[in-house]
Each structure stands twice: as structure tokens, then as C-alpha cells.
Amino acid sequence: MQPLAPSALWKIATPSPSWRLPGVAMAGFRARGPADLGVVPFPAVTLAIDLGAEPLLVTDGGREVRGSAVVGLSRGGPQGGLRGAGRDVQCLQVRLSPVVAHAVLGGFAVEGGPLAGLDEVWGRDAARWEERLRAAASWEERFALVAGALAARRTEGRPVDPEVAYVWAELARSHGTSRVDALAAEVGWSRKRLWSRFRSQVGLGPKQAARLVRFDHAAHRLAAGGHPAAVAAETGYADQSHLHREVADFAGLTPSAVAREPWLSVDGVAWSAPGYLHN
């Protein structure tokens, strides 16, 4: 396991390669004192497993969850949406590609809305699973427990259509710039069939999913210090104004403000596993 990496607020633990699964990324977070963090939309379904002494509060507009939560793919929206807050936070966060999430979480991504309690999605096993994670002696033991549970649920779950998995992988690989009509032709489906099957299994239509993947790529380029005009050109936007509109639509912010968001500052440590969204 990589050592805990201190930053201004967070200490972060990541799993050894032994516990890495296709389409899955995991990280453990600890923070001293109060924490209140806005979430920049990203193209994964997230399990936030609360392991702290005081309950984590996750809010999305009028919906709130205290304790462990499941967060679906973002459809975009004004700033002030999804936030996480707590004191002396200790949390194990799991990011699932939507292909994996469909098998592991059933219909949550499509039917359950953007935010739910873990027990609403996981069922009666959620409390027992959380207790085992709290009792674990190390982050590495926790990652092993999570990997085992996810692997079992994926085996038991219903996979997405191979065509849907292929289209998602191509959107992730191209950072959202692949032409969806061309992908439909590649898998031998009509445009209508791809839109219907993709939305029913991923939770977003393929073009909206492509927009989210491209936004995520651009947001990270901005956070790395890229000028908005250069980032727009590098990430497939028509021009800088187009990038501004997309950033405003997804995050309710300007490109410069997104670049300063603390949410993105830990990604190089916490979510450095290559290509986990592709599966």
C-alpha cells in the first residue's frame, strides 16, 4: 500500500495492486477538524463509506444522506448541488465505472436518482459490511474487504450489453470526443437502439455521457494549470466560449474557478490508477 500522503486537509491511502479491479478505484480519506467540500461532477458512480465517529453529511439540493452514501452519474446543474461535510472525517470512497456499477448496484444508476443511502442500494448487508470495515486493522484490510464484496456482487449481477460496454469504453478512452453515431455503426446498432439501451443501463444518454467525460478531462487540465483557451482546443471544444458554457452547465462555475476547486486537488494521489473508467 502506498503511504498516507498528507495534503493541506486530507491524508489519503490507496490500495496496493493486489486489490485493484477493472472499472474500480478506491481511496481512503482522513481529515482533522471540520470539512465541507463541493463536488465537481465526474463520470463515475461513487460509494462513500462513512467510517468516522460523527456521521458524514452528503447533500444534493433538497436531498441529504447522513452516513454512507451512493452518488450516481451527474447530469449537471448549478453550483451548490452535491456537497460532503463532516468533522474528523474518515471515509472509504469507491469509484465505479457505470459498466461495473450496473452489475454491482443493479438499477440504481438509472432508477435511484443521483443520491441515496448505502443501505437503500446495498440492502441489509450494508450495515454488516460497514461494521467489518470499521473493525478492520488497516486501510489495506479494508480495501481487500471492499474488493471481495464488489467482485462477488459483480459476478452475481447482470452485466451491461457488450455493445454498451464497448461504447462506454470508447467514450472514456477518447475523453468524450468519439462520435456517437459512428460508435453506433461500429457495434451494428441503429442510433435509436443505442440511445435506448445505453440510457437504460448507464443512466445517461450516450451524448450526455460523452459531455460528462469530456468535461471531466477539461476540468483536470484546468486544475493542472492549463489556460482555458488552450484547454478548450486540446479537449475538443469548439472554442473557449463553448468550454465556458459546458463548465457552467456542469459545475455552475467559470473555468478559472473550477481550476481552484479543492475537490480536484487530491486526484493525482487518490485516483491515479490508470484507465479504471474504461472497463
Question: Do 150 and 230 share a domain, yes or no?
Answer: no
For the ranges 42-46, 57-61, 219-223, the lowest mean pLDDT is seen at 57-61
- Range 135-147 average pLDDT: 95
Which structural domain range is residue 49 located in? Answer: 5-158
204 is a domain residue: yes
* Residues 112 and 174 reside in one and the same domain: no
Q: What pTM, to 2 d.p., does this model score? A: 0.91
118 and 131 inside one domain = yes
Flag whether 216 is in a domain.
yes
Average pLDDT over residues 183-204: 95
Concatenating the DSSP letter of every residue in 163-217 gives: HHHHHHHHHHHTTT-S-HHHHHHHHT--HHHHHHHHHHHHSS-HHHHHHHHHHHH
Same domain, yes or no: 137 and 196: no
User: Which segment of 16-30, 215-229, 258-272 scores lowest on mean pLDDT?
Assistant: 258-272
**Residue 190 predicted with pLDDT over 90:** yes
CB 202 within 8 A of CB 102: yes
Is residue 172 assigned to a domain? yes
What is the arithmetic mean of pLDDT over 254-261?
94
Task: Return the minimum-mean-pLDDT range out of 58-67, 182-191, 243-252.
Answer: 58-67
Domain termination residue (choose one: 100, 128, 158): 158
Judgement on whether residues 39 and 134 belong to the same structural domain of the protein = yes
Pair 68, 186 in one domain: no
Judge if 88 and 152 occupy the same domain: yes
Helices (H), the chain: 98-105, 108-111, 118-122, 125-135, 139-156, 162-173, 180-187, 191-202, 206-223, 228-234, 240-251, 255-259, 262-265, 267-270
Final residue of a structural domain among 158, 177, 207: 158
Q: Which pLDDT score, from 0 to 100, does residue 268 have?
A: 80
Check residue 37 and give its pLDDT: 85
The SS3 assignment for 59 reads: strand
The answer on pLDDT for 3 being more than 50 is no
In a domain, 273, yes or no: no
Check residue 6 and give its pLDDT. Answer: 38
CATH number, domain of 227, equals 1.10.10.60
Average pLDDT taken over every residue of the chain: 89
- Give a yes or no: residue 39 inside a domain: yes
At 180, the pLDDT band (50, 70, 90 cuts) reads very high
Looking at the structure, do residues 196 and 108 belong to the same domain, yes or no?
Answer: no
Place of cell 440504481: 108
**Is 278 part of any domain?**
no
Is 276 part of a structural domain of the chain?
no
State how many domains the chain has: 2
Residue 5's pLDDT band, with cuts at 50, 70 and 90, is very low
Q: Examine residue 268 and state whether it is found in any structural domain, yes or no.
A: no
Percent of residues, the chain, with pLDDT higher than 70? 91
Judge if 99 and 236 occupy the same domain.
no
Mean pLDDT of all residues in 56-74: 89
| Residue at a domain's end among 158, 183, 206 | 158
What is the mean predicted confidence (pLDDT) over 240-255? 94
Cβ distance 77 to 113 under 8 Å? no
Same domain membership, residue 125 and residue 9: yes
Q: Do residue 154 and residue 171 come from a single domain?
A: no
Residues 153 and 168 in one domain: no
- CATH number of residue 48's parent domain: 2.60.120.10
pLDDT at site 112: 46
